[in-house]
């Protein structure tokens, strides 16, 4: 094919069935998606434009203009080697990158699927041969980045979600549910300037005030232990104009498993005693202090809490924290409610350095230059996509995955991978089951990291969905393949789930653990609770850990290089199959609940709740978490 030739009519849409049949011989379908532009995923099928036609079409409006240089390769299927048919240089660069990203995954899925269900066979084939997950990952995590609730990056990401769904031919919308405090993160420059000079590893906490892009230099002081809150108030003038170190100094920044692997028995025991001593001295797991940090009577909550506000009121120049995650070089980046005194988090190692210098009376000085902006209350939204039911549209199967994230990194495994899983499952279902029996919804919630605000608001705003809920599948614990599913306290949920799992191909059935028991209701922790607290059929998809808690959960290392694309692809196919089976199941799941008293007697465990968890009302504006 010569440069500029096409494989057919340049802008003629292909029927979906023809697109599937010609998948292996079709060229890449390339388009540009603006954040708010709706694009038919097959609108540009077969086009191989000349560079001049690209420019002409962009100017005339015949093609969607590029938005922030985000290329979208639609329904990519084993991309051919890129040659001059992609004459626009931006297209060529983006498509070559996508080809390279997909290359490791292109030929490794040739096993035969042992199932007679034609829909499941199609789900497997499409999910295996045309997965756009690496491309979507690059757009979401590299171009858009983290998605802190109340920020413009979250809002832009939600526009991207809607545009991507519409490109797949799936209706989607952003649905407002309230407001939340807005904030813009800029740069964080943190340096030790005395007694020696060293750039420190750390960043602002989320929602921290900045320094007005000016240097703020101060000496440091350690929060001492107090007999009571009265003693703390008397000490407060000592903190005026200084950076206050409020976290426990870790005696070692080596991960526990490194000590267990390499230390002598005596050395390991000694380190364990030292860690326990630090925890007792500072209070709380990891020295977090609980509700009474060092006798102050105040809590750090998730970051600086009410203690940060009290130190700010007392004239402190800023707050220095440390929240090591337990892995090499990882720390959690949480939040502050300070309005004037900036709050930062340092790595375990650099916090230890500043703490020791302060403790040894070497009068360290730290310089901050922080760019941030507090923006007041801003509208917040959930993103919802929908495949309308053909027979019983008032009955619902729901995918649940929170879209917001903390912003110390990219929010890749918490919870961007679940976002991509749902996107891909919906793309597949649109191809194989465009008119399901029941309505299939995708719920991408915001505010999960702020205590499941978005999902709780959605549940309150949509009683019709609660009334007609057949099943909700929630994923929120990393990149790993799904290995366990729980029925969360409904015996009939367990019966249906057992039947669905038996229908899965052996390749997926073998990896999912389910004991057939109804289990127990969850008491929180993720968005499924906003529905399970009503006694509704919800299923939490538990993933293989991949050191999630030590390395990526809320951390500065939650980046897309941690994604395991084989596992993510498997999860998308599994989710699509479960949604298909739940949608087409002739019977609705009933609402009988497990007998908690009988379960407690049978298990002999205090871990069994004595009553069904109570739903909490969603706040419709910022609700500070200070304790």
Q: What is the pLDDT of residue 86?
A: 24
Best CA proximity match to 159, nearest among 335, 403, 377, 390: 403
Q: How far apart are CA 549 and CA 103, in angstroms?
A: 30
- Range 367-386 burial, b when 16+ CB lie within 10 A, else e: bbbbbbeeeeebebbbbbbb
Instruction: Decide: residue 337, CB within 10 A, 0-12 exposed, 13-18 middle, 19+ buried.
Output: buried
Task: State residue 529's pLDDT score.
Answer: 97
Which tens digits make up the pLDDT trace of 421-463? 999 999 999 999 999 999 999 999 999 999 999 999 999 999 9
Residue 115: per-residue pLDDT: 82
First CA to last CA across the chain, in angstroms?
66
| Residue 202 contacts residue 345 (beta carbons within 8 Å) | yes
Calculate mean pLDDT across residues 373-401. Answer: 98
Residue-wise pLDDT for 2-60, tens only, equals: 333 333 333 333 333 333 333 333 333 333 233 333 333 333 233 333 333 333 333 33
Segment 384-412 shows an average pLDDT of 98
Give the span between the Cα atoms of 590 and 447, in whole angstroms: 30
Enumerate residues 6+ apart whose C-beta is below 8 A from 292.
283, 298, 299
* Per-residue b or e along 176-196, where b marks 16 or more CB atoms closer than 10 Å to that residue's CB: ebbbbbbbebeebebebeeee
Is it the case that residue 498 has pLDDT exceeding 80?
yes
Q: Does residue 236 surpass a pLDDT of 70?
A: yes
CB contact at 8 A, 539 and 487: yes
- DSSP lists the bridge partners of residue 216 as 368
> What is the SS3 assignment for 147?
coil
Give 538-557 pLDDT, tens digit per residue: 999 999 999 999 999 999 99
Segment 77-105, tens digit of pLDDT: 333 332 332 223 323 333 333 333 344 44
Are 321 and 182 a contacting pair, CB within 8 Å? Answer: no
| Residue 575 β-bridge partners | none
Spatial distance between the Cα atoms of 317 and 618, rounded to a whole number of angstroms: 34
pLDDT score at 581: 98
Question: Which pLDDT score, from 0 to 100, does residue 74 have?
Answer: 37
Q: What whole-number distance in Å separates Cα of residue 385 and Cα of residue 175?
A: 10
pLDDT tens figures, 118-171: 999 999 999 999 999 999 999 999 999 999 999 999 999 999 999 999 999 999
Q: Kindly compute the dihedral angle of the four CA atoms of residues 399, 404, 405, 406, in this order, to the nearest 10 degrees.
A: -150
Q: Which is higher by pLDDT, 99 or 537?
A: 537
Strand partners, 401: 444
In whole numbers, what is the pLDDT of the chain averaged over residues?
85
Alpha-carbon gap, residue 121 to 114, rounded angstroms: 9
Alpha-carbon distance of 191 to 56, in angstroms, equals 51
pLDDT number for residue 112: 56
Q: Which of 522, 504, 525, 523 is nearest to 513 (CA)?
A: 504
Joined tokens for residue 554: 């809320």
Region of 240 (left: φ > 0; alpha: ψ -120 to 50; beta: rest) is beta
Q: Write out the DSSP string of 167-215.
A: HTT--EEEEEEEEEEEEEEEEEEEEEEESS-EE--EEEPBT----TTS-
30 Cα distance to chain centroid: 27
d(CA 384, CA 386): 7
CA 543 – CA 351 distance, rounded (Å): 33
Asked whether 348 and 382 are in contact (CB, 8 A), the reply is no
The pLDDT of residue 603: 86
What pLDDT score does 612 carry?
Answer: 96
Strand residues in 315-364 grouped as ranges (E): 318-321, 343-346
Q: Which residues pair with 175 in a beta bridge?
A: 382
CA pair distance 269, 275, nearest whole angstrom: 10
**Model confidence pLDDT, tens digit, residues 163-215:** 999 999 999 999 999 999 999 999 999 999 999 999 999 999 999 999 999 99
Q: Which helix (H) or strand (E) holds 280?
A: helix 265-282
State how far the Cα of 184 lies from the Cα of 337, in Å rounded to an integer: 14
> DSSP letter at 272?
H
Residue 4 or residue 245, greater confidence: 245
Asked whether the predicted pLDDT for residue 272 surpasses 70, the reply is: yes
Domains of the chain: 16-105 (no CATH), 140-171+388-590 (3.40.630.10), 182-376 (3.50.30.30)
pLDDT at 101: 39
User: What are the angstrom distances between the C-alpha of 257 and each of 290, 305, 327?
Assistant: 26, 31, 9
Q: For 30, list phi and psi in degrees, rounded to 5.
A: -120, 135
pLDDT recorded at residue 429 = 98
In the DSSP assignment, the letter for residue 416 is I
* Token pair for 444: 């991408």
Token duo for residue 147? 């998605």
């Amino acid at each position: 094919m010569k440069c500029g030739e096409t494989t057919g009519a340049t802008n003629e849409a292909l029927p979906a069935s023809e697109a599937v049949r010609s998948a292996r011989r079709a060229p890449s379908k390339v388009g540009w998606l603006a954040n708010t532009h709706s694009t038919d995923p097959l609108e540009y099928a077969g086009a191989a434009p000349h560079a001049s036609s690209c420019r002409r079409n962009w100017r005339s409006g015949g093609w969607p203009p590029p938005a922030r240089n985000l290329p979208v390769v639609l329904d990519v299927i084993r991309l051919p080697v890129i040659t001059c048919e992609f004459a626009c240089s931006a297209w060529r660069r983006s498509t070559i990158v996508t080809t390279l990203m997909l290359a490791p995954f292109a030929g490794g899925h040739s096993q035969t699927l042992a199932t007679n269900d034609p829909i499941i066979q199609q789900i497997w084939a499409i999910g295996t041969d045309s997965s756009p997950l690496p491309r979507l990952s690059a757009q979401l995590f590299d171009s858009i980045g983290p998605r802190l609730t109340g920020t413009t990056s979250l809002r832009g990401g939600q526009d991207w979600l809607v545009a991507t769904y519409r490109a797949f031919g799936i209706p989607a919308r952003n649905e407002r549910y309230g407001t939340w405090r807005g904030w813009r993160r800029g740069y964080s420059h943190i340096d030790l300037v005395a007694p020696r000079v060293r750039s420190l590893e750390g960043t602002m906490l989320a929602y921290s005030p900045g320094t007005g892009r000016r240097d703020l230099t101060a000496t440091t002081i350690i929060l001492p232990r107090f007999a009571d809150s009265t003693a703390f108030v008397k000490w407060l003038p000592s903190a005026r104009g200084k950076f206050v170190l409020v976290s426990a100094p870790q005696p070692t920044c080596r991960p526990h498993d490194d000590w267990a692997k390499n230390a002598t028995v005596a050395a390991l025991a000694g380190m364990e005693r030292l860690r326990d001593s630090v925890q007792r001295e500072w209070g709380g797991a990891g020295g977090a202090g609980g509700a009474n940090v060092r006798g102050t009577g105040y809590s750090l909550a998730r970051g600086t809490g009410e203690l940060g506000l009290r130190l700010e009121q007392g004239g402190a120049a800023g707050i220095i924290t440390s929240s090591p995650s337990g892995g090499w070089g990882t720390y959690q980046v949480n939040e502050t409610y300070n309005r004037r005194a900036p709050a930062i988090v340092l790595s375990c190692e650099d916090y230890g350095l500043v703490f020791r210098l302060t403790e040894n009376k070497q009068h360290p000085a730290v310089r901050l230059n922080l760019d941030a902006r507090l923006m007041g209350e801003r509208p917040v939204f959930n993103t919802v996509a929908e495949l309308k039911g053909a027979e019983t549209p008032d009955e619902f199967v729901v995918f649940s995955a929170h879209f917001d994230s903390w912003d110390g990194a990219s929010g890749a495994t918490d919870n961007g991978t679940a976002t991509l899983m749902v996107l891909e499952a919906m793309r597949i279902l649109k191809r194989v089951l465009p008119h399901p029996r029941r309505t299939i919804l995708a719920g991408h919630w915001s505010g999960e990291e702020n205590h499941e605000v978005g999902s709780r608001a959605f549940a309150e705003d949509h009683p019709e969905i609660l009334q007609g809920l057949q099943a909700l599948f929630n994923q929120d614990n990393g990149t790993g393949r799904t290995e366990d599913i729980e029925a969360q306290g409904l015996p009939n949920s367990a019966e249906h789930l057992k039947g669905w799992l038996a229908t899965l191909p052996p390749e997926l059935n073998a990896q999912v653990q389910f004991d057939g028991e109804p289990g127990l209701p969850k008491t929180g922790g993720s968005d499924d609770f906003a529905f399970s607290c009503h006694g509704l059929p919800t299923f939490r998809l538990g993933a293989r850990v991949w050191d999630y808690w030590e390395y990526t959960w809320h951390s500065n290392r939650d980046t897309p290089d941690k994604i395991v694309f084989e596992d993510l692809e498997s999860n998308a196919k599994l989710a699509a199959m479960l949604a298909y089976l739940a949608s087409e199941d002739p019977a609705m799941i009933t609402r009988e609940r497990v007998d908690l008293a009988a379960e407690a007697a049978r298990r002999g465990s205090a871990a069994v709740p004595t009553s069904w968890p109570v739903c909490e009302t969603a706040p419709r504006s910022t609700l500070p978490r200070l304790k």
